[in-house]
Structure formats: structure tokens, C-alpha cells
Amino acid sequence: MPETNYVRLKDESGGGEARRGAVLIVVGRVLLWFDALLAIFVYTGVRGGSHLWTWWVIGEAVLGLGLILVGSRMRARGIARSAPRSKAA
């Protein structure tokens, strides 16, 4: 039977929450950048009498900022849980 490095397996499996938090942050940032591109259509839509693009951009900005906030908290909690605990002298 091949030898298994159980310490390495434990280290790799412990960062799940931190990784999910980082993914949420990336998705939130992508939404905000895409939102910046869609902001071009807000002026045209309002000038034409439609508020669709205005509400779309506002909703997407709220969703992106929410994902960044939740992802930051999740990543910090995951890092805190996986940090090695040092014994006080």
C-alpha cells in the first residue's frame, strides 16, 4: 500500500470555506465590472423614458456588493479556522 501523507490531506481539506469565500468575492467583483459596462445604457434608457437599465444596474450592484461582503466574512472565518493554533507559554 502506498504511503499517504495524512497531514497534507488534512491541510488541503481544511480550506473549503476560505476558498468558497474567495470565489464569492471574485464573482462579486466580476458583477461590479460588468455593471460598470452596463452603466452606459442608463442615460440612454432614462432619456428614452425607460428605467429598466437603471434598476438593472442598481440590482446588480447590490448583488455584487452583497457577494463581496458575504465572501469576505466567509473567507476570514475559513482562514481563522484553518490557522494553526499556537500554544501559549
Neighbours of 64 (CB within 10 A): 19
What residue segments make up the domains of the chain, in order of their start? Answer: 17-82
The pTM for the full model equals: 0.74
Among the listed residues 83, 84, 62, 77, the one whose alpha carbon sits nearest the alpha carbon of residue 20: 77
Average pLDDT over residues 81-87: 71
Rg (C-alpha) for the chain, rounded Å, is: 21
1 has a pLDDT exceeding 80 = no
The pLDDT tens digits for 43-68 are: 999 999 999 999 999 999 999 999 99
Q: Looking up cell 500554544, which residue turns up?
A: 87
CA distance 38 to 6: 49
**Residue 11 confidence class, pLDDT cut points 50, 70, 90:** low
CA distance 28 to 15: 20
